[in-house]
Amino acid sequence: MDIPSCDMCEHPAAWRRPWDNTLVCIMHFNKSFLKKVQKTINKYQMLKRDDIIAIGLSGGKDSVVLLDVMAKLQKNHSTKLIAISIDEGIENYRENGLHFAKLAAERADVEHHIFSYKEFFGYDLDEALMILGENRLSPCSYCGPFRRKLLNEAARKVGATKLITGHNADDEAQTLLMNVMRGDLLKTLHSNPIPKFKNKAFVNRVKPFRRTTEQEIVVYANLNQIPYQEMSCPHAVEAYRGKIRNILTNLSVDDPGVIFSIINSADSLHDLGGLVSNNLKHDGNKEIFDCKKCGEPTNNELCNSCRLIIEIENRENM
């Protein structure tokens, strides 16, 4: 079978972009991929030239591809790029992810640090779930806040001024739809992609893949032969997000640009959020405090992870 050639050169095409049907060879795919990430960083003013960037490196496709791309773009931005991985202590899963994270850090030739829940919180996730027993929230309800917290601490420890994560356009579109369906649109209004927190305990986070789809990331990993962890976490049962993902996958068949339309809507909401932020400050629920235990910004007296750790400690001492 004849392989069609790239729409921009004579080389064989490696991929057809679903939203505009353009055929691209490996070189043109890579070029446009990097250009798009750079454009996203510029559009949202995600990074400054002298930022020290910590990258959350789980070993999954998003984070290993982000590391590869950022190492290539680094000369435009950063004095330093440092990889940090979080070991939640999930048996038969995390060791495998750390293996791919180490490979990615070696390939990109960046410093790599591993931080564990056990060392920081005093408990592995598996251990904490055992202590909590049956009468508890889902594993992700503990693990999510712990990871956010430890990533922040890790970024501070390595001296980073920004924390980047591999959340992609699909993740962002799913999150917006979930907020809509849960009647919590204010969450989107408040989660501005342009970092602006000025709390010294908090390293601002940005998502350079905000406009890059999961499909593009998989294609990049495959074309560039970047190995990544394919195994899913045994606790991953976020059923609601899975349903939203299926809806978006079905919609994308007829309208391949639907993910970008949703991201554009989210951007309009953030702009609106900026315009009405003065009014929102008067909304009692949205006042920002410093967590009494750790000092991180939070909507309550204690941040989520401090509250959950106290729950585990209390349960252990019962």
Q: For binding to ligand SF4 (CB under 6 A), which residues are involved?
A: 88, 139-140, 143-144, 233, 235-236
Give the binding site for Zn ion (CB under 5 A): 291, 293-294, 303, 306
Which residue intervals of 276-303 are DSSP H helices?
Answer: 277-281
For residues 51 and 87, which CB has a smaller minimum distance to ligand SF4 in the complex?
87
Region for residue 162 given its phi and psi (left: phi exceeds 0; alpha: psi -120 to 50; beta: otherwise): beta
Beta carbon nearer to ligand SF4, 45 or 138: 138
Among ligand SF4, Zn ion, none, the one that 236 touches (CB under a kind-dependent 5 to 8 A) is ligand SF4
Q: How far is the CB of 296 from ligand SF4 (least distance, A)?
A: 19
Dihedral sign of CA atoms 39, 42, 45, 46 in order = positive
Strand partners, 145: none
Of ligand SF4, Zn ion, none, which one sits near residue 293, judging by CB under 5 to 8 A according to partner kind? Zn ion
The item of Zn ion, ligand SF4, none sharing an interface with residue 291, based on CB under 5 to 8 Å by kind, is Zn ion
Which entry of Zn ion, ligand SF4, none binds 306, CB below 5 to 8 A by partner kind?
Zn ion
Q: Report the candidate in 221, 194, 215, 213 with the shortest Cα–Cα distance to residue 205.
A: 194
CA distance 282 to 297: 17
Query: DSSP 3-state assignment of 191?
Result: coil
- Cβ of residue 59: shortest distance to ligand SF4, in angstroms? 11
Contact 296, 153 (CB under 8 A): no
CB nearer to ligand SF4: give 23 or 143.
Answer: 143
Q: Is 150 helix (H, G, I), strand (E, B) or coil?
A: helix
Smallest distance, Å, CB 86 to ligand SF4? 9
Q: What are the residues facing 114 on neighbouring strands? A: 85
State which residue, 59 or 139, has the beta carbon closest to ligand SF4. Answer: 139
User: With CB cut-offs between 5 and 8 Å by kind, which of Zn ion, ligand SF4, none does residue 235 bind?
Assistant: ligand SF4
